[in-house]
Amino acid sequence: MESNGTTASCCLNSAVFKVSLSVILTLLILITIAGNVVVCLAVSLNRRLRSLTNCFIVSLAVTDLLLGLLVLPFSAIYQLSFKWSFGQVFCNIYTSLDVMLCTASILNLFMISLDRYCAVTDPLRYPVLVTPVRVTVSLIFIWVISITLSFLSIHLGWNSRNETRRSEDKCKVQVNEVYGLVDGLVTFYLPLLIMCITYYRIFKIAREQARKINHISSWKAATIREHKATVTLAAVMGTFIICWFPYFTAFVYRGLKGDDAINEVFEAIVLWLGYANSALNPILYAALNRDFRTAYQQLFCCRLASHRSHKTSLRLNNSLLSRSQSPEAKWQEERPLKLQVWSGTDVTATQRASDRKPARSCTRCSGNLLSCCKSLWGLQFLQQSPSGEQSGEPLSEENVRTPSEETVRACEAV
């Protein structure tokens, strides 16, 4: 066992390796925090995203955000120094938070798969099956299981071995036979089995529905829909298995053979591979959803859209003035209009009083991107309902979708 520690120490003592590892871990932590913050902002600012379905995505984002804030920085420090310097009391708290948040993240993914399964297999009864009370009970169930397997088990010593002597400079979750099997089964293997079954059923339904809508749209469009659903489901399940299967396999093996049965370098690699799943979740479960993509575009492209809106408005007004007025009338009716743009400078433009209309732009907001997007989205969703019935827009082929097309769209946004 000493050879394992010596090899790990030699690898981690290399200056080049430490710098490279610190850059990689820092980027992973920043991506985890930023990605999940964006998901929470998108849901809080966009009314169309406030649904029962997205409750699990928000719960997943909050869990991964807490993991990035409370666990990953200490894991990175411990990994880079190869020594725990925060005491044994905080070690118990740190390992409990680690187990709790990782367990809650996986169980949220499990609940998302069940929610998508109900939405695709029985869309007419979905509002009856998925109610606010059941969603609340599911979220409570997730955190009760997570706290039981983390804080309760670790502080009561259900995971430790009687013969194990804890080193002062080491901090990792101890695993015995019973705890390793129970935690691995409840946290990963059983949810993995159910997720494979649900997503396979979703894939079959998506393929069948894509073939049924051939008479409505072209064969090529139906094939593209089927391909998108396949790629989405493969990305979701593939990422989940690649990130967590090596860790839980090593975790159960540690429970059966002992805490020192696995090389420490390999154990660190599979642990951070599992952490990487929290950085990928905002992409897989939010960015692949059309409504989330729209919210992301509004969040990040607000400044660019407002700048283009100013240019287009000024160009249109100037062209109208040049066509409809003579030079003498133009001189009498035009007057300077001062517009404030994002750069903080003033732009003077000529505009006819009768053609001056309030543009839906960011000029009335402050320079804060967040308040700008709040104003934009407030105007959008007060004037336009999600279904398009109150806005008065005409029905077209894109607005009129069959239940089959809606099912395929739900599969694309798994």
- Closest residue by Cα to residue 56 from 108, 100, 101: 108
Evaluate whether 294 touches 377 at the Cβ level (below 8 Å): no
Indicate the pLDDT class of residue 386, thresholds 50, 70 and 90.
very low
Considering 79-83, 268-272, 376-380, the range whose residues carry the highest mean pLDDT is 268-272
Evaluate whether 271 touches 247 at the Cβ level (below 8 Å): yes
Alpha carbons 276 and 223: distance in angstroms, whole number: 32
173 φψ region: left (φ > 0), alpha (ψ -120 to 50), beta (else):
beta
Evaluate whether 359 touches 309 at the Cβ level (below 8 Å): yes
Instruction: Report pLDDT digits (tens) over 15-24.
Output: 888 899 999 9
Q: What is the mean pLDDT of residues 366-393?
A: 41
More confident residue, 382 or 32: 32
Instruction: Report pLDDT digits (tens) over 294-330.
Output: 888 888 776 455 545 555 555 555 555 555 544 444 4
Burial of 6 (0-12, 13-18, 19+ CB in 10 A): exposed
Domain ranges of the chain: 14-286, 303-321+333-357
Q: Residue 277 pLDDT more than 90?
A: yes
Q: Residue 119 pLDDT more than 80?
A: yes
Alpha carbons 142 and 117: distance in angstroms, whole number: 18
Amino acid 411: pLDDT: 52
Q: Residue 2 pLDDT more than 70?
A: no
Instruction: Report pLDDT digits (tens) over 135-161.
Output: 999 999 999 999 999 999 999 989 988
Amino acid 147: pLDDT: 96
Give the 3-state secondary structure of residue 293: helix
Instruction: Report pLDDT digits (tens) over 189-247.
Output: 999 999 999 999 988 887 777 777 666 656 666 566 666 766 777 888 999 999 999 99
Instruction: Please give the share of the chain, as a percent, with pLDDT higher than 90.
Output: 39
- Closest residue by Cα to residue 406 from 141, 213, 139: 213
Indicate the pLDDT class of residue 382, thresholds 50, 70 and 90.
very low
Contacts of 376 (CB under 8 A, 6+ apart): 298, 302, 360, 362
pTM: 0.71
Burial of 23 (0-12, 13-18, 19+ CB in 10 A): exposed
More confident residue, 414 or 119: 119
CATH number of 14-286: 1.20.1070.10
